[in-house]
Amino acid sequence: MGHGGFSIVRKAVDKEKGSLVAIKVIDLVAAREREADEEGPVVDPVSEIEDEIGMMKLLNHPNIVQYYDSFCTPLKYYIVLEMLPGGELLELLNEQGTFSSALSSNYMRQVLQAIQYMHNVGIVHRDLKLENLLLDETKSIVKVSDFGLSINMNVETPSKCVGSIFYVAPEVLIDESYGSGVDIWSVGVMAFMLISGSPPFDAPDEEENNMEIFEKICKVEYSFEAPEWENTEEQTKQFIQLALTKEPSERPTASALLQHPWILSHAQNS
């Protein structure tokens, strides 16, 4: 079904219920080799995996992938999750090129509902991106997945520079302490991508120029000049601008964005 650096997701059947599930199989040998190659103190991958599982156990929401069970052997760790056969939202976007404002709003409303719930219980995802949004078989329901970089603000203060290049908030790059606002920033990036098909902060070179992208993020340097934006309603742009507010303390919460006209107007028609 999918794969990462040292994991693969397989389809399976729950023998008791007869229902399909997804099993994330993590190669512990490869994970330990990666840890050994990185600078700094070596962290046991099993500990990191169990932290992620602990985070998922705290969450029960219709827009968050449901955790069912887990078990391990000396070589592999298995996490049993809800099956989402519609695939990644990024894959659907790549197929279609862009989405309508209404469809984009519907997806972002569901993501914001998940974020609102997570933040209310103290969880910050820290790696929200289109690859981590999974769709049901109808492709109308979206669910947040992959809590490997998530943090429980009730027991820990975030300080590490983590996240994915196109989605990371400026305060993370500037090496400041940060909070739940990093997830809201990612919402702004994702909304921009759904409408235009491209990230707001990008390098013109075919090869990714990370430093150039980071500089644009820190300056909040993006525009609505591409042709895809010509007929886009102003409230869509305003929503994105609010989510991409540079100062974290001035960035709206998920609850506030759920009351934004772009979200409310399309929610009535969904």
Rounded CA separation 146/135 (Å):
14
H helices present in the chain, as ranges: 28-37, 45-57, 89-96, 101-120, 170-173, 181-196, 210-219, 234-243, 254-257, 261-267
Phi and psi at 169, nearest 5°, equal: -80, 155
Instruction: In whole angstroms, give the CA distance from residue 63 to residue 144.
Output: 6
Residue with tokens 């990093």: 182
Pairing outcome for strands 133-135 and 67-72:
unpaired
Selected catalytic residue, list 14, 44, 51, 127: 127
DSSP-based three-state secondary structure for 192: helix
- For residue 237 the two structure tokens come to 């742009």
Which candidate, 15, 9, 12, 125, places its Cα nearest to that of 63? Answer: 125
Helix axes 45-57, 28-37, angle to 10 degrees: 110
The three-point CA angle 169-171-176 to 5° equals: 150
Residues 6+ apart with CB under 8 A from 181: 169, 171, 248, 249, 251
Whether 183 is catalytic: no
**Is the Cβ–Cβ distance between 116 and 258 less than 8 Å?**
yes
Token pair for 138: 């109808």
Residues marked as catalytic: 127
